[in-house]
């Protein structure tokens, strides 16, 4: 049957060029801004309606704003987030007050919290499988015990007998993923933030259709923001017709809600419970350099084989069943495929629906426990006070802290904001490099040649606070040395950023970065 390619490209007005402005409007950020504008319009209408009582309303709003500022100040949230809200409420007391109340009491967000909590409860009995490392063995490894204990408290088991394969480029990961998909016998689970028609996705989709036709259970889940630019709104129905089970996470619907701010940013592939992939690589052509939007695209991924795969299987099923009744997980989670190997792995995820900043805490632990070095690659650098303090303290106590950032940004305003953090870090001894061939999308930390994490978590508020994310922590697996080698290979293609060089930067870019810093936690 001839493949339907009628909707492979977005509408002309969504493409680049003179229609770029409309492309921005119909982007994920644009949609959220439009929703906020609608909200402000409704508030303004109410304001006009109460015009005769304007003075009383204004005074009441000031009093409520002061009370709210006191409440926020005593809240247990992050100080930077609290400061941002206080600024918003102080500068625009009426709108700021209403916006804060709306965000904190949004029914859509509350329903998502409940659904996620219910999904976690349904899978609780599978969290600690028989193949997980025992507490006794964890206690016997003092340098690893702390992070293992912490992630265990958050519901993530530690595994051994898991081989790690590291991929320094998207092309390398894609080649192996295709190979593993072709070998699938029982089930294929794919969960990706971005899926876009093109060479990469078409090569995967053809295999998925064949496997589904052969009786392999195939499930695909992608974030609802894809329907704005990447895929048609009903694309999931096309996949279902091909025998592929498919879901959109948080599809856009005609109501205003902060629900849309919590995107599924994870990238997970699980095949037969034997193999799992994660990392920064989405299913679109720029990730394998089949098309170049911002120069060469540098991204990374890892493949797990063995007991640790169960962690990613569980993550996928928890998200898949977010809004469904319980199903039998046994056939996916009770068969283990041990692969003799060194070290330990901990697959973990982070949710914006609780008060536990798992992704940030893993990063902070690596920085704070480093003995010689901690090396970082990230596409964005928008930091809270805890992360700034950890990085600067590590550098001042003699740890070699190096951060690789992109030189060609995908989002100019966000790049200006990221650069606004450079000065303080450089003054404390942190070294910053920019990848001159293009864009770095890799999210990874490696430290002391023995520990590393690779996943989907950027160093920005959106990843650390607002998105669903995932990663894998590795200790003594051997892959850490490969990651470090790739880091130094990448460093050879980078430009070192200096304080004198920063001073020569464009005034507008510096100004934009400083202004955006005021609202960075809300971006």
In sequence order, what DSSP letters do the residues of 192-249 get, joined into one string? ES-B-TTHHHHHHHHHHHHHHHTT-EEEEEEETTHHHHTS-TTHHHHHHHTT-EEEEE
Q: Are residues 320 and 180 in the same domain?
A: yes
What is the C-alpha to C-alpha distance for residues 413 and 29, in angstroms, rounded to an integer? 13
Q: Which two tokens stand for residue 82?
A: 């609290």
**Domain range holding 175?**
110-350
204 lies in some domain: yes
Q: Are residues 78 and 154 in the same domain?
A: no
378 lies in some domain: yes
Residues of the chain with pLDDT under 70: 1-40, 42-58, 76-78, 80, 94-95, 105-106, 228, 253-260, 325-327, 335, 522-523
What is the C-alpha to C-alpha distance for residues 458 and 469, in angstroms, rounded to an integer? 9
What is the C-alpha to C-alpha distance for residues 407 and 36, in angstroms, rounded to an integer? 32
* Cβ atoms of 23 and 14 closer than 8 Å: yes
DSSP state of 287: G
* Cβ atoms of 335 and 309 closer than 8 Å: no
* CA-derived radius of gyration, the chain: 23
Phi/psi of residue 277, each to 5°? -120, 145
Q: Are residues 89 and 118 in the same domain?
A: no
Given 350, 369, 384, the domain boundary residue is 350
Given 60, 91, 106, the domain boundary residue is 106
The CATH number given to whatever domain includes residue 511 is 3.30.870.10
344 lies in some domain: yes
What is the C-alpha to C-alpha distance for residues 448 and 370, in angstroms, rounded to an integer? 7
Q: How many domains does the chain have?
A: 3
Given 319, 350, 381, the domain boundary residue is 350
Q: How far is CA 263 from CA 172, 228, 459, 496, in A?
A: 27, 13, 16, 33
Q: How many helices (H) and strands (E) does the chain have?
A: 22, 17
The predicted structure's pLDDT at residue 19? 37
What is the C-alpha to C-alpha distance for residues 254 and 225, in angstroms, rounded to an integer? 14
User: CA 9, 14, 16, 17 torsion: positive or negative?
Assistant: positive
Q: Are residues 148 and 245 in the same domain?
A: yes
125 lies in some domain: yes
CB-based contacts of 228, cutoff 8 Å, min separation 6: 26, 27, 28, 30, 31, 252
3 lies in some domain: no
313 φ/ψ sector (left φ>0, alpha ψ -120 to 50, else beta): alpha
* Cβ atoms of 293 and 340 closer than 8 Å: no
- pTM of the entire structure? 0.85
List the Cα angle 274/177/242 in 5-degree steps. Answer: 95
The predicted structure's pLDDT at residue 16? 40
The burial of 487, by beta-carbon neighbours within 10 Å (0-12 exposed, 13-18 middle, 19 or more buried), is given as buried
CB-based contacts of 466, cutoff 8 Å, min separation 6: 261, 262, 263, 352
Q: Are residues 213 and 314 in the same domain?
A: yes
2 lies in some domain: no
Q: Are residues 215 and 156 in the same domain?
A: yes
Q: Are residues 83 and 183 in the same domain?
A: no
Q: Are residues 367 and 342 in the same domain?
A: no
3-state secondary structure at position 393: helix
pLDDT (tens digit per residue) in 482-508: 999 999 999 999 999 999 888 887 778
Q: Which two tokens stand for residue 321?
A: 């069943």
Phi/psi of residue 166, each to 5°? -100, 135
What is the C-alpha to C-alpha distance for residues 354 and 442, in angstroms, rounded to an integer? 26
* Cβ atoms of 296 and 436 closer than 8 Å: no
* Cβ atoms of 283 and 307 closer than 8 Å: no
1 lies in some domain: no
* Cβ atoms of 359 and 461 closer than 8 Å: no
Q: Are residues 94 and 189 in the same domain?
A: no
CB-based contacts of 147, cutoff 8 Å, min separation 6: 346, 362, 365, 369, 473, 475
Q: Are residues 246 and 163 in the same domain?
A: yes
Q: Give the DSSP H/E element, type plus range, for residue 299.
A: none
379 lies in some domain: yes
CB-based contacts of 431, cutoff 8 Å, min separation 6: 400, 401, 402, 403, 496
Q: Which two tokens stand for residue 30?
A: 């644009």
Q: Are residues 144 and 57 in the same domain?
A: no
* Cβ atoms of 161 and 133 closer than 8 Å: no
The predicted structure's pLDDT at residue 55? 65
Q: Are residues 472 and 502 in the same domain?
A: yes
């Amino acid at each position: 049957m001839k493949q339907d390619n009628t909707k492979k490209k977005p509408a002309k007005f969504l493409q680049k060029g003179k229609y770029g402005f409309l492309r921005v409007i119909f982007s994920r950020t644009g949609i959220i801004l439009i929703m906020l504008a609608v909200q402000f319009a409704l508030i303004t209408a109410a304001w006009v309606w109460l015009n005769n009582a304007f003075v009383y309303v204004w005074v009441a709003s000031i009093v409520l704003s002061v009370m709210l500022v006191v409440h926020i100040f005593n809240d247990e949230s992050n100080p930077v987030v609290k400061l941002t809200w206080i600024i918003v409420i102080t500068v625009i007391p009426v709108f700021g007050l209403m916006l804060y109340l709306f965000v904190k009491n949004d029914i859509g967000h509350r329903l998502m919290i409940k659904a996620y909590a219910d999904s976690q409860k349904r899978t609780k009995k599978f969290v600690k499988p028989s193949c997980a490392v025992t507490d006794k063995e964890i206690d016997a490894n003092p340098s690893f015990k702390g992070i293992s204990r912490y992630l265990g408290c958050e519901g993530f088991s530690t595994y051994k007998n898991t081989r790690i394969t590291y991929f320094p480029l998207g092309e390398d990961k894609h080649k192996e993923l295709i190979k593993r998909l072709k070998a699938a016998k029982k089930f294929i689970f794919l969960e990706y933030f971005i899926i876009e028609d093109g060479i990469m996705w078409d090569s995967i989709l053809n295999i998925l259709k064949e496997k589904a036709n052969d009786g392999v259970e195939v499930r695909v889940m992608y974030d609802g923001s894809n329907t704005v630019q990447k895929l048609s709104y009903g694309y999931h129905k096309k996949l279902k017709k091909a025998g592929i089970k498919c879901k959109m996470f948080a599809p856009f619907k005609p109501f205003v809600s902060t629900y849309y701010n919590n995107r599924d940013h994870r990238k997970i592939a699980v095949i037969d419970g034997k193999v799992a992939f994660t990392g920064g690589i989405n299913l679109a052509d720029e990730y394998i350099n089949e098309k170049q939007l911002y120069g060469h695209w540098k991204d990374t991924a890892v493949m797990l084989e063995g007991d640790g795969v169960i962690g990613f299987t569980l993550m996928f099923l928890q998200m898949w069943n977010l809004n469904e009744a319980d199903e039998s997980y046994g056939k996916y989670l009770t068969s283990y495929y041990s692969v003799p190997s060194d070290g330990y792995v901990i697959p973990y995820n982070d949710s914006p629906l609780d008060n536990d900043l798992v992704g940030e805490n893993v990063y902070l632990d690596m920085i704070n426990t480093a003995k010689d070095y901690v090396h970082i690659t990230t596409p964005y650098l928008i930091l809270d006070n805890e992360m700034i303090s950890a990085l600067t303290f590590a550098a001042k106590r003699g740890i070699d802290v190096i951060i690789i950032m992109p030189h060609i940004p995908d989002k100019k305003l966000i790049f200006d904001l990221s650069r606004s953090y450079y000065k303080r870090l450089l003054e404390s001894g942190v070294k910053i490099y920019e990848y001159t061939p293009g864009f770095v999308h890799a999210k990874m930390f490696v430290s002391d040649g023995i520990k590393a994490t690779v996943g989907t978590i950027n160093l920005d508020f959106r990843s650390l606070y607002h998105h669903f994310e995932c990663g894998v922590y590795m200790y003594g697996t051997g892959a850490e040395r490969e990651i470090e080698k790739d880091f130094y290979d990448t460093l050879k293609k980078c430009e070192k950023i200096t304080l004198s060089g920063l001073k020569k930067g464009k005034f507008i870019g510096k100004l934009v970065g400083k202004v955006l810093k005021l609202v960075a936690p809300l971006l």
